[in-house]
Amino acid sequence: MAITPMSENFSKWYNDIVYKADLASQSEVRGSMIIKPYGYELWENIKSGLDYRFKETGHKNAYFPLFIPESYLQKEAEHVEGFSPELAVVTIAGGKELEEPLIVRPTSETIIMHAFSNWIQSYRDLPLLLNQWANVVRWELRTRPFLRTSEFLWQEGHTAHATQTEAEEETAQMLDVYADFAINEAAIPVIQGRKSVREKFAGAVYTTTIEAMMRDGKALQSGTSHYLGQNFAKAFDIRFLDKDQERKYVYTTSWGLSTRMVGAVIMTHGDDKGLRLPPVIAPIQIVVVPIYRKEEQRSLVMDTVDKLTAQFKAVGIRFHVDDSDQSPGYKFNDWEMRGVPIRLEIGPKDVEKNQAVLVRRDIDGRDAKSFVSQDGLVETVQNMLVDIQANLLQQATEFRDSNIVEVDTYNDFKSVVDAGQWAKVWWNENSDLEKQVKNETTATHRCYPFDLQEEGTGKNFLTGEAADQIALFSKAY
């Protein structure tokens, strides 16, 4: 029943929340999971926050096929090499061996770029701004619910532009969209930055990322936006006739965010009692627990509950009334474990006094509880939801900031990384040395953070040479 404490075993704590809060369950298929209604509602709320932003920035949704001809994937050399170990391939269909195997998409650059090459003829066709919501398959050897599964849900945006500048602006804009969503809706204080060459998307010129710090100090890449240059345009011959009468290759971008975000929410906000959900994306924002002994009390209490929830409904507060047969104490623990931001208790005493008891999930102890008037309750609740949202972001931000440590020697680096913190260092791009660091410490290059760059140069923590960029290293999911 109870959840394994985080301090005892973080992985177990995570799995306990996923399964006991009914977000997902294990499926019969290796490495796959069933997303249950409560988990899927959370994903739907994430989806709608993103989809709204995509539309606001001029993108349209479309849908491309699940199956991709093998030859498409092979057109971009680095891309195919990056994905080939984890592809699921269909070789037999309809009882016959296929002439050309079909790949179950690990991502859709190739099939979408193939379509783009037919659709784009003139500068008037640009920019082309598309997004698709889809499932993709990557045959991972080691899987964890939401963080890494063989099949997962995501969105992938694909755009084509006339100029490099425009494509790079798009790449940056969509990373901003992700960061805005993560910070303001998921209450996750992400760090924006550029990936090292070793960590970038196969086929990209460069990759930008939002990195989040989990409660165990590990980093989670929570969304990525890639500038693809003309790599795919050349591989798929996507050319347009420009105003100056010249045929030119387009510049493309792609960007994606997956159900992994659910894992990020769990591991950013959760505590030993279970999940803590930011009100903006919580499937249930307030749970009502009626309390009564006798039947007369029950109808009295329920009348008040009906009156109050009608007000919630009118203003769009997402509520749930738990009138099951469980004891109140059971319900309190259960809904805290499921991360509902506010609990409302209504008993005979409250009905009599025209009051209600509110308990907020983001605070521990007595301070979490308040006795408020039923008059103006909707406003009280709305204000509290806003306050909880802000408080979760603040708690996560303070945790993150206190766990990023500046180091300039390899020894300090090792102890910081071993302590589960992030190392902020001076660094020069070098894939071989990055690999060495990973082998020796298990920490990886997370990104070159845009907001933490400094003028001039500093001492590379590994080589001691002068370095011109600030990088973050840490253990990661």
Residue 442: CA atoms inside 13 Å, Cβ hemisphere, count? 12
**Number of other CB atoms surrounding residue 219 within 10 Å:** 22
Asked if residue 168 binds RNA (CB under 7 A), the reply is: no
Residues 368-427 that bind RNA (CB under 7 A): 368-369
Complex with RNA: residue 73 or 162, whichever CB lies closer: 73
CB 67 within 8 A of CB 102: yes
The runs of H, that is alpha helices, within 57-163 are 70-73, 77-83, 109-119
Of 254, 57, 248, nearest to 154 (Cα)? 254
Asked if residue 430 binds RNA (CB under 7 A), the reply is: no
Asked if residue 306 binds RNA (CB under 7 A), the reply is: no
Q: Which residues pair with 209 in a beta bridge?
A: 193, 224
Only one of the segments 26-34, 50-58, 259-267, 456-464 lies at the binding site for RNA (rule: CB under 7 A); that segment is 26-34
Asked if residue 139 binds RNA (CB under 7 A), the reply is: no
Asked if residue 432 binds RNA (CB under 7 A), the reply is: no
**CA 78/CA 83 separation, integer angstroms:** 9
Asked if residue 201 binds RNA (CB under 7 A), the reply is: yes
Cβ 65 to RNA, closest distance in Å?
A: 20
Asked if residue 314 binds RNA (CB under 7 A), the reply is: no
**CA 355/CA 309 separation, integer angstroms:** 14
**Residue 141 DSSP class:** S
Would strands 342-346 and 286-290 be described as parallel, antiparallel, or unpaired? Answer: parallel
Cβ 220 to RNA, closest distance in Å?
A: 11
Asked if residue 363 binds RNA (CB under 7 A), the reply is: no
Asked if residue 272 binds RNA (CB under 7 A), the reply is: no
Cβ 415 to RNA, closest distance in Å?
A: 19
Asked if residue 110 binds RNA (CB under 7 A), the reply is: no
Complex with RNA: residue 189 or 203, whichever CB lies closer: 203
**CA 342/CA 374 separation, integer angstroms:** 15
Please tell me the count of residues contacting RNA according to CB under 7 A.
54
Only one of the segments 83-91, 94-102, 280-288, 392-400 lies at the binding site for RNA (rule: CB under 7 A); that segment is 83-91
CB 213 within 8 A of CB 219: yes
Residues 3-22 that bind RNA (CB under 7 A): 3, 11
SS3 of residue 182 by DSSP: helix
**CA 300/CA 388 separation, integer angstroms:** 30
Which of 172, 291, 363, 390 binds RNA (CB under 7 A)? It is 291
Asked if residue 240 binds RNA (CB under 7 A), the reply is: no
Asked if residue 55 binds RNA (CB under 7 A), the reply is: no
Q: Both tokens of residue 191?
A: 């760090």
Asked if residue 450 binds RNA (CB under 7 A), the reply is: no
**CA 365/CA 182 separation, integer angstroms:** 28
Site residues for RNA per CB under 7 A: 1-3, 11, 26, 29-31, 82-83, 85-86, 106-107, 138, 140-143, 195, 199-202, 207, 209, 221, 224, 273, 291-293, 325-330, 332-334, 336-337, 343, 345-350, 357, 359, 368-369
